[in-house]
Chain A
Amino acid sequence: MSLLHLTPKGLYCEAGDFFVDPWEPVDRAVITHAHSDHATWGSYSYLTSVPGVNVLRARLEMGARIRGVEYGETVALNATTVSLHPAGHILGSSQVRIEHRGEVWVVSGDYKTDPDPTCTPFEPVLCHTFVTESTFGLPIYRWPSQADVFAEINAWWRANAAAGRTSLLLGYALGKAQRLLAGLDPDIGPILTHGAVERMTGVYRQDGIELPPTQYAGAAGSRADATGAIVIAPPYADASLWSRRFGNHSTGFASGWMMVRGARRQRSGLDRGFALSDHVDWPSLLAAIEATGAGEVWVTHGYTGPVVRWLQERGVDAKAVATRFEGERAEVTETSQDELSDSAAPLPPSPAASSP
């Protein structure tokens, strides 16, 4: 008996009468995390983890009804028992555990198992059926050590500063940007931020996440002296008027896609790619699936084909599920009003918030 069904509005649990990360407004939405492909505005009520409440509120319309539950706390939703467990993706990200008559399903949302000082680490949850992402589900994706990547980023920044250049480092405004901030060496120089980054960073700080001091780089058209500084901005900022003010600068992009040279070269004007992702790489993906003990695996967004085949060849009952979650190209191509916007002030409700 299937606890979840794929419907035109998203993954639906009939026994509990709720959706997990619906892509259209519904009565009751359980949200894994606040990226826009998982958290769509307009639903009547939202359930998310306590650490995820403020970031989700920053991404949804004002006055959205959001209820927070602690990680591991159980909630009865009709005939089901639901609990949220850390997914290690961004602040407040969760896996959703659903139990009904002894049957247990877990929906992972997006997740990573690597350490990240800006969010609670991933915890494996035993289940019968595991619904997993597969954004980087190919063996070419094996993340280098995080310490090495941050050493590379800091060395690049230091060399640029010494040459009188600004470092423009691109990464998603929610999650990636804060993880980057946490890994920068603030002794090298000032850290400036794009409005979208500054706003989400403010939410992280309110929630008690320690991050180095940042300065809002100012609205488009202003001329900040950013020589020697590093500027953290969302990925599209480099193509916009916004980045022109920095004059002589070197551009880097922090994303799992940067493992592959071609992906870096597809973006013109990109000098450096840093392979830093908030998703699991291939070995971690396989390990995470195995740790759930699940006999059945649903594979969503990403390299579903190879992951399903790999699991099937190992006797796991796996199938691909065509959700509208993004992932395959999302980190390179996604654009959205929210991230394009350059204001540090809270935005009015936006139908298209952003995602990595």
Chain B
Amino acid sequence: MKAFAHLYTALDETTATKEKVAALADYFRSAPPADAAWAVHFLNGRRPKRLISSGKLRAWAAEEAGVPAWLFEESYQAVGDLAETITLLLPAGGESSELPLSHWVEERLLRLRGEDDDVQREDMVASWRELDSRERFVWNKLITGSFRVGASQQLVTRALTEVSGVPEGVIAHRLMGAWDPTPEFFERLIAPDTSDADVSRPYPFFLAHPLEGEPGTLGDAGEWIAEWKWDGIRAQLIRRAGRTFLWSRGEELLAGRFPEVEETGGLLPDGTVIDGELIPWLDGAPLPFAQLQRRIGRKNLGAKILDEVPVVLVAYDLLEAAGVDIRALPLSERRLRLAALVESVPSGRLLLSTAVPAPNWLAATNARREAREVGAEGLMLKRLSSSYGVGRRRGDWWKWKVDPLTVDAVLIYAQPGSGKRAGLFTDYTFGIWEGSHLVPFAKAYTGLTDEEIRKVDAFVRRNTLEKFGPVRTVKPELVFELHFEGIQRSSRHKSGIAVRFPRMARWRTDKKAEEADTIETVRALLSP
């Protein structure tokens, strides 16, 4: 535990990428494979299912610290992170633990599962007393499952490459899909031998950069293909060894969630991997994302919902054909094979992402204007000669979203953020005018600079009208230009409207609250 806590601190104490990679590489070089495997597991954001409810942890920690519940909550509001709050409140720590990470995870953490409250409580208190404060913090992070330390998957991959000499692309691929953090796994992960047995493993997704300028900067339009950018769930459909696997981009196995698509997977030849987008699709056109949300998270998919919100996979790319990784082939070649494959599958559940005719950039620009009508978010521009890369790389794939919808709205409620934004009022609710009242319309957390956040924070503190728990009602004075991608009617929102991806585009210091938009102007944005 000591070495892992030391790694965490080293990662936390520098903002320099080079030093983070060096700290990771040092750890991987010296840690026993059993520990290294767990470290990769946690650093990649994987975590055990919740072992103890946060309410119980709070209660036990507050009691151990001798702090009343209300004061624990006040402290939590200031810190914004449960693991850290507990660490800061507990009495001075014990000795540092020389026991390895794998022991703490396998013999202590995982053993908590299923135990009754008394045993869990005893174990937690005992663990707090055994660890020093730095280790306690990391331990609490593992328990609360919010293990993030500013070392992206990419940095972990880079460090593993540095240690093993295995190329980054291979490491990234081996880290995809399902694996158990065992010493054998770690040894395979850094083994020079690249043969690979796992039939379910997806490829790392290739991601596009947003296009900020004009497409003319990309050169000749003839070297590019334009496709609609759909708003669904990016996924890989895998057919290998007579089995079908559907993975989300978040590396979640979507087994049973989209039965119609998995069924179609069964029609594919063995050794096939398709990259595409899961989209709710009815009568030849996409449904709004909100409809897909009705299906996400449901455990039981009844006939009714399957009927109302059928889902298709719109196929973007073919990554593996006849068991061979074809990611290095040019896109034009992969698309030809993909088109032939989709054609051969007698199912309405697998559609080919059609090319939007764009012989020149003017045509592409015009097509993009129609995106919202088609139900798309904009265009994807991909270089026909491009291979299928790993992660988000600049150059060959661009997403070119439609210009966002905009509304000027008034800040009416504010709430402190968490994590990095703890103790600052950073989470805002905005209102628009309905007659002489401001009706809550959207929440937004992003888009302001640190400097602006500080100014808004100071405003909130000076202009609080009422407090409801952590939420403050503020004097309706500040106006912000909000941007969002889509707008829907909604019975669950007070304004009767729900927007997608709202964010603050600009602080309109030039506008007074009275000049903000009204519910009528916003309703006019709804498509008929």
With A260-B78, A262-B420, A266-B450 as contacts: A333 and B458 at CB distance below 8 Å: yes
**A-chain residues with CB within 8 Å of residue B13 when the two chains form the complex:** 271-272
Which of A138, A139, A262, A309 sits near B419, CB closer than 8 Å? Answer: A262
CB-CB under 8 A from B15, the residues of chain A are 268-271
B421–A266 CB distance below 8 A: yes
Size of interface on B: residues with Cβ below 8 Å to A: 32
Residue among A139, A140, A260, A268 having the largest count of chain B Cβ atoms under 10 Å: A140
Chain A nearest Cβ from B445, distance in angstroms: 14
Cβ–Cβ < 8 Å partners of A138 in chain B: 71, 74-75, 78
Neighbouring A residues of B65 by C-beta, 8 Å? 139
Measured CA separation A140–B81 after assembly (Å): 12
Alpha-carbon separation in the docked complex, A270 to B75 (Å): 24
A305 in contact with B74 given A260-B423, A266-B421 (CB within 8 Å): yes
Interface pair B84/A306, CB less than 8 Å apart: no
28 CB contacts below 8 A, A to B, read: A138-B71, A138-B78, A139-B67, A139-B88, A140-B85, A140-B88, A140-B89, A141-B88, A250-B14, A260-B84, A260-B88, A260-B423, A261-B12, A261-B81, A261-B84, A262-B80, A262-B420, A262-B421, A263-B422, A263-B423, A266-B420, A266-B421, A267-B450, A271-B14, A271-B16, A303-B78, A310-B71, A329-B454
Q: Which residues of B contact A333 (CB under 8 A)?
A: 454, 457-458
Nearest chain B residue, comparing its CB with the CB of A260: B79
Q: 1/0 per residue B135-151: CB within 8 Å of A?
A: 00000000000000000
Shortest Cβ-Cβ A-B pairs, 6 listed = A262-B422, A140-B88, A265-B420, A306-B74, A140-B75, A333-B454
Q: Which B positions have Cβ atoms within 8 angstroms of A? A: 12-16, 65, 67-68, 70-71, 74-75, 78-81, 84-85, 88-89, 418-424, 450, 454, 457-458, 461
* Tally of contact residues, A, Cβ under 8 A: 28
Knowing that A262-B84, A271-B16 touch, tell me 9 more A-B residue pairs with CB under 8 angstroms.
Answer: A260-B84, A261-B12, A262-B80, A262-B419, A262-B421, A266-B421, A272-B13, A305-B74, A333-B454
Does A259 touch B at the CB level, under 8 Å? yes
For A309, the chain B residues whose CB sits under 8 A away are 70-71
Known A-B contacts A260-B88, A260-B423, A261-B81; the reply to A303 vs B74 at CB < 8 A is yes
Q: Mask for A249-288, Cβ within 8 A of B = 1, else 0?
A: 0100000000111110111111110000000000000000
Residues of A within 8 A of B85 (CB): 140
Distance A328 CA – B80 CA, assembled complex (angstroms):
16
A interface residues with partner B (beta carbon < 8 Å): 138-142, 250, 259-263, 265-272, 303, 305-306, 309-310, 313, 328-329, 333
Q: How far is the CA of A291 from the CA of B211 in the complex (A)?
A: 64
Name B83's closest neighbour in chain A (CB-CB).
A261
CA distance A118 to B423 in the complex (A): 31
Is B81 touching A262 in the complex (CB atoms < 8 A)?
A: yes
